[in-house]
């Protein structure tokens, strides 16, 4: 055994953990990071980044298939899934090496192994070869993330039942896929697998797909996905599931008395996540866990002095950029810098489906529930010159303002590359920009972002192009 002392030990090297470690090092703390798998965590290695690489391949395939509409002649394109997966893995590997470089550059000591709290500021790390390293520290930051929720009726076998991990490196290309859960993960994989020729069916218990998004946005996405041939069953639960010689037979039960029977070669479970709280030594502490997530205050503090938690293990929203910002705020609070607490209403969310979805702030329904008198503006991309030129008119921009103060309460977008545009509204909310400020802004022409300006104008009866 060895014994080392640090100012801060971060457990988990995902986007929350490694960013927190970098910020701590910048502030002069002697910092260690413990990771039992791969630096970058699930997001970089098996989530955010590799899925976007696959979705980019799907976008290229769609573009080539429709090349004739743009006056470009091509041979009939086809999907090479092994090559797509290989590129996706290469992208993840490149970024994984980048995180390792950042740790070295910032002087963060990295330990390979599984960390367990031992009480009184002590931490034991079980290494890959059975060796144990003992560390002591006044501040321990848990950033252990989360994993896919499993459903008892669909035991994951890597062959006919997948989670996102199997979907990123599939053993085969199924003919028929049933995706359980139509949130961001389910809709993204539906877009990818449908693009490469798989018959995809989405099942969602909520009344609509992407239930966390504004209702108008969900409806637009449903129209687009349905138009492409993706089958969707909403307000539907799974009544019965049977594994047969040819795959799966699933009986759905909706809110009506009638049931529907479906068949699939592969079931992809995208029904949420659970926090990685097991075997962390929390029994040695007063850390409280609820619904598999560690309970914290707005600065990441737990019920145990000197123990903090951020990111997915600390609860929703389960977003990488939220984890990163939480990490910075938590570390700065430890250092005594008195940062502002993270405001969840200012965290943008993105779904990289086809079409893309992006939002920040309150939906129209949420704003009305909170008794705001609202002004709502909508602008369809069919009225945007750049979108027409790109052949990407399926989409809209929607904004919700407080009628009295002019505060931008929420912004919601669906369409081509809206995930790159939502930052404009995110910055506006952070700066507490009003409708007058947004109206006075001059946006470049021709760009799809002009629709953002037009939606603001539309909220006040001043839209110019509809």
Q: What is the CATH number of the domain that holds 438?
A: 3.30.390.30
What's residue 2's pLDDT?
54
Of 228, 247, 271, at which residue does a domain stop? 271
Domain end, chosen from 289, 311, 344, is at 344
Exposed, middle or buried by CB within 10 Å (0-12, 13-18, 19+), for 180?
buried
Q: Are 282 and 295 in contact (CB under 8 A)?
A: no
**Measured between alpha carbons, how far is 435 from 141 in angstroms, rounded to an integer?**
40
Report the distance separating Cα 325 and Cα 311, nearest Å: 9
Q: What is the pLDDT of residue 36?
A: 94
Residues 252 and 296 in one domain: no
DSSP symbol at 314: G
Q: What pLDDT score does 246 carry?
A: 84
> What's 149's DSSP letter?
P
The span from the CA of 234 to the CA of 255, in Å, is 9
Indicate whether 349 belongs to any domain: no
Structure-token pair, residue 123? 């931490």
pLDDT in tens, the chain (466 residues): 556 899 999 999 999 999 999 999 999 999 999 999 999 988 888 888 999 999 999 999 999 999 999 999 999 999 999 999 999 999 999 999 999 999 999 999 999 999 999 988 899 999 988 889 999 999 999 999 999 999 999 999 989 999 999 999 998 899 999 999 999 999 999 999 999 999 999 999 999 999 999 999 999 999 999 999 999 999 999 999 999 888 899 999 886 656 889 999 999 999 989 999 999 999 889 999 999 999 999 999 999 999 999 999 999 999 999 999 999 999 999 999 999 999 999 999 999 999 999 999 999 999 999 999 999 999 999 999 999 999 999 999 999 999 999 999 999 999 999 999 999 999 999 999 999 999 999 999 999 999 999 999 999 999 999 9
Q: What's the angle, vertex CA 307, arms to CA 302 and CA 313, rounded to 5?
A: 65
Helix (H, G, I), strand (E, B) or coil at 341: coil
- Does one domain contain both 328 and 434? no
In this structure, the answer to whether residues 44 and 92 fall within a common structural domain is yes
Query: Would you say residue 464 lies in a domain?
Result: no
Confidence (pLDDT) at 257: 58
Same domain, 180 and 309: no
pLDDT the model gives residue 279: 94
CA gap 129, 299 in Å, rounded: 36
Which pTM value belongs to this model?
0.93
> Is residue 65 domain-shared with residue 121, that is, in the same domain?
yes
Residues 179, 265 contacting (CB under 8 angstroms):
no
pLDDT on residue 256: 62
Same domain, 307 and 425: no
Which among 147, 144, 146, 124 is positioned nearest to 136, based on CA atoms?
A: 124
Same domain, 21 and 121: yes
Residue 439 domain-assigned (yes or no): yes
Residue 445 known to be catalytic: yes
Residue 453 lies in a domain: yes
CATH number, domain containing residue 184 = 3.50.50.60
Are 253 and 185 within one domain? yes
Same domain, 407 and 314: no
Residues 180 and 109 in one domain: no
Helix (H) or strand (E) holding 329: helix 320-334
In a domain, 199, yes or no: yes
Cα–Cα distance, 187 to 190 (Å, whole number): 5
Among 120, 445, 453, 465, the active-site one is 445
pLDDT value of position 172: 87
Domain count, the chain: 3
- Identify the domain containing residue 426 by its residue range: 355-459
Mapped to the 3 state alphabet, what secondary structure does 252-303 carry?
EEECCCCEEEEEECEEEECCCEEECCCCCCHHHCCCCEECCEECCCCCCECC
Domain annotation covers residue 465: no
Give the residue from 232, 252, 271 where a domain finishes. Answer: 271
Please report whether residue 196 resides in a domain: yes
Alpha helices in 114-183 (DSSP H): 164-168
Note whether 141 and 9 are within 8 A (CB).
yes
C-alpha 391/C-alpha 381 separation (Å) is 10
Shared-domain flag, residues 99 and 126: yes
Same domain, yes or no: 280 and 143: yes
Residue 466, domain member (yes or no): no
Q: What is the CA radius of gyration of the chain?
A: 24
């Amino acid at each position: 055994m060895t014994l080392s002392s640090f100012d801060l030990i971060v457990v988990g090297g995902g986007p929350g953990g490694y960013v927190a470690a970098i910020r701590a090092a910048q502030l002069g703390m002697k910092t260690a990071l413990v990771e039992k798998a791969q630096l970058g965590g699930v997001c970089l290695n098996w989530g955010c980044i590799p899925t976007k690489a696959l979705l980019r391949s799907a976008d290229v395939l769609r573009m080539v298939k429709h090349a004739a509409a743009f006056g470009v002649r091509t041979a009939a394109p086809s999907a090479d899934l092994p090559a797509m997966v290989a590129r996706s893995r290469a992208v993840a590997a490149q970024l994984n090496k980048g995180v390792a470089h950042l740790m070295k550059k910032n002087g963060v000591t990295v330990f390979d192994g599984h960390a367990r709290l031992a009480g009184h500021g002590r931490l034991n790390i079980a290494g890959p070869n059975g060796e144990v390293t003992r560390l002591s520290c006044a501040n321990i930051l848990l950033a252990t993330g989360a994993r896919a929720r499993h459903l008892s009726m669909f035991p994951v076998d890597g062959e006919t039942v997948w989670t996102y991990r199997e979907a990123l490196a599939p053993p085969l290309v199924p003919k028929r896929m049933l995706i359980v859960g139509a949130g961001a993960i389910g809709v993204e994989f539906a877009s990818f697998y449908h693009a490469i020729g798989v018959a995809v069916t989405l099942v969602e218990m909520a009344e609509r797909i992407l239930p966390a998004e504004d209702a108008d946005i969900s409806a637009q996405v449903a129209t687009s996905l349905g138009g492409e041939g993706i089958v969707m069953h909403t307000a539907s639960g799974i009544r019965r599931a049977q594994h047969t010689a040819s795959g799966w037979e699933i009986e759905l039960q909706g809110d009506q008395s009638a049931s529907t029977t479906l068949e699939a070669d592969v079931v992809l479970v995208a029904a949420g996540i659970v926090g990685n709280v097991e075997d962390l030594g929390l029994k040695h502490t007063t850390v409280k866990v609820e619904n598999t997530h560690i309970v914290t205050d707005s600065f990441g503090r737990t019920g145990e002095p000197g123990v903090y938690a951020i990111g997915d293990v600390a609860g929703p929203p389960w977003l990488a950029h939220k984890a990163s910002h939480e990490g910075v705020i938590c570390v700065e609070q430890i250092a005594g810098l008195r940062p502002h607490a993270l405001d969840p209403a200012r965290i943008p969310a993105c779904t990289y489906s086809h079409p893309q979805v992006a939002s920040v702030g309150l939906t129209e329904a949420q704003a009305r529930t909170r008794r705001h008198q609202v002004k709502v503006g909508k602008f369809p991309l069919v009225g945007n010159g750049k979108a027409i030129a790109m052949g990407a008119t399926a989409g809209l921009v929607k904004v919700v303002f407080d009628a009295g103060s002019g505060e931008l309460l929420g912004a919601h977008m669906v369409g081509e590359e809206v995930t790159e545009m939502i930052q404009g509204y995110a910055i506006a909310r952070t700066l507490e920009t009003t409708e007058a400020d947004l109206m006075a802004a001059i946006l470049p022409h021709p760009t799809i972002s002009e629709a953002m300006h037009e939606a603001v104008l539309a909220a006040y009866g001043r839209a110019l192009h509809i």
